Amino acid sequence: MRIPVADVRDTLGRPVRDLRISVTDRCNFRCTYCMPKEIFNKDYEFLARDLLLGFDEIERVTRAFVGFGVRKIRLTGGEPLLRKGIEDLITKLTQIEGIDDVTLTTNGSLLARKAEALAAAGLDRVTVSLDSLDDEVFTAMNDAGFPVEAVLDGIDAAADAGLTPVKVNMVVKRGVNEHTIVDMAQHFRGTGHIVRFIEFMDVGTTNGWRLDDVVPSGQVVEAINRAYPLEPVEANYTGEVAQRWHYTDGAGEIGVISSVTQPFCSTCTRVRLSAEGRLFTCLFAAQGTDLRALLRGGATDADLASVIENVWTGRTDRYSEIRTDATTDMPRVEMSYIGG
């Protein structure tokens, strides 16, 4: 039996359905499009442990969002598997009535050793970031010397543990890894895993984003279609970020995420909670709302719900639809801070 849900809509009529929770701002990779080493070096100050939301606090925020219609939870980072005891949080979240899906996005570096424990805790699926199957390209992009094979081992372990279908995210950047697109598609054809090719986005202000570096998703589909014919498939649900394509021979599907060339702001149902408890209503936001102060200041559940409702009903975000040279120069929170 479903708990009662308030039909809360933002200024553009969008409901809230997906809560993405960053559990840490730390990561053991230094991907050039996310946490470039020039900025996130030994002198960079990450959040102190006491500033991070505790698992009970995250659970409390999640329960508040369920009352407004959230059904899907995605744990992100940083690298979420670096957060000690992440399995305990997963167990807490999966036991909340009304949550249908709890997933996690990871770079795969710790997945081989943690997949069974994650599944036992109740995690439904994982998404693994893998930007190329070419070791030289991949290690240059993650800038941590981490090999492809170790990520593939993590994907295999996730599949063996039942965390399926595994989704594999490849951020495509012109002049860097676009020549490995078809190889990626070929490798995962017939495996049951779903590769999603993501346009290089201007998240944050430290990744040196330029429009010229974006490979439009249409070109990605064309390249794969020449090798392995594709046909479009309807979305699984309203607000799904990836456009789906099936192989005509039945060998599975791919997805493309086209935030730059084909914005999907009009159907966005996602909200993000940073590791220190700030609420962001857009991946490209500059400011968030401090929920940690409420949680630690004696606020009641009704107080918390009221603040969340006010934030969502006042939401006007549609950054990707109005992106211009002027907006790309505006301050924006870093992806490593609120997750992708």
Report the predicted TM-score, pTM, of the whole model to 2 decimal places.
0.92
Q: Identify the pLDDT of residue 7.
A: 87
pLDDT average, residue stretch 86-103: 97
296, pLDDT greater than 70: yes
Q: Identify the pLDDT of residue 337.
A: 62
Q: What is the pLDDT of residues 218-247, one digit of tens each?
A: 999 999 999 999 999 998 887 788 899 999
Residues in Cβ contact with 103 at an 8 Å cutoff, skipping those fewer than 6 apart: 72, 73, 74, 75, 123, 124, 125, 126, 127
Q: Are 233 and 193 in contact (CB under 8 A)?
A: no
1, pLDDT greater than 50: no
Mean pLDDT, the chain, as a whole number? Answer: 91
Q: Identify the pLDDT of residue 262.
A: 80
23, pLDDT greater than 90: yes
How many percent of the chain have pLDDT more than 90?
75
34: its two tokens: 């996310």
49: its two tokens: 């442990």
Q: Higher model confidence: residue 240 or residue 179? A: 179
Q: Identify the pLDDT of residue 3.
A: 54
Task: Report the run of H or E that residue 258 belongs to, with start and end.
Answer: none
196, pLDDT greater than 80: yes
Rounded distance between C-alpha atoms, residue 128 and residue 116, angstroms? 16
Strand order in 72-76's β-sheet? Answer: 230-233, 243-247, 253-257, 194-199, 167-172, 125-129, 101-106, 72-76, 18-22, 270-273, 278-280, 289-290
Q: Higher model confidence: residue 144 or residue 204? A: 144
Taking alpha carbons only, the member of 133, 135, 125, 80 closest to residue 107 is 80
Range among 70-74, 205-209, 278-282 with highest mean pLDDT value: 70-74
Q: Higher model confidence: residue 287 or residue 277? A: 277
Task: Give the model's confidence band at 340: pLDDT under 50 very low, under 70 low, under 90 confident, else very high.
Answer: low
Q: Identify the pLDDT of residue 317.
A: 81
Q: Identify the pLDDT of residue 331.
A: 57
The two beta strands, 243-247 and 230-233, are antiparallel
pLDDT average, residue stretch 2-14: 82
Q: Identify the pLDDT of residue 201.
A: 75
List of domains in the chain: 18-338 (3.20.20.70)
319, pLDDT greater than 70: no
Q: Identify the pLDDT of residue 204.
A: 56
129, pLDDT greater than 90: yes
